[in-house]
């Protein structure tokens, strides 16, 4: 018998979604059926890449569920709106982003990483 994606147990779907960014998860699965939409909306382990192409409406819709945030832009980003954030990666060390990193602003932050684009040169 063939198993369809939507027939998988919730735990396996959540495991799969953990490998995807919010943009990919939302675009790929949000309107396939009501169960998948509900699972995505209830997920508490979402990753967002904040870059030049970010859909701000998508960010607003999921900001309370975001646990991992990757900032790859110098555009303004109010980190206080992501109070559930556990992991933050910032590329190119924008002073505006760095000055927002405080225990009161990000009380659940456990991992913080600063990277330069040159860190990835081989």
Q: Is the pLDDT of residue 12 over 90?
A: yes
- Phi, psi at residue 27, to the nearest 5°? -65, -35
CA separation for the pair 53, 117 (Å, rounded): 18
Which pTM value belongs to this model? Answer: 0.79
CA separation for the pair 65, 43 (Å, rounded): 7
The string of pLDDT tens digits covering residues 50-106 is 888 888 888 898 999 899 999 888 788 899 999 899 999 988 777 888 899 999 999
């Amino acid at each position: 018998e063939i198993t369809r994606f939507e027939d998988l147990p919730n735990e396996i779907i959540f495991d799969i979604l953990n490998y995807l960014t919010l943009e990919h998860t939302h675009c790929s699965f949000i309107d396939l059926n009501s169960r998948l939409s509900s699972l995505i909306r209830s997920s508490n382990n979402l990753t967002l890449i904040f870059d030049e192409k970010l859909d701000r409406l998508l960010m607003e819709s999921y900001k309370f569920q975001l646990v991992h945030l990757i900032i790859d832009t110098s555009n303004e980003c109010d980190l206080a709106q992501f109070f559930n954030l556990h992991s933050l990666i910032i590329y190119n060390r924008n002073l505006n982003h760095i000055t927002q990193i405080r225990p009161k602003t990000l009380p659940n932050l456990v991992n913080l990483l600063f990277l330069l684009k040159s860190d990835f040169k081989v």
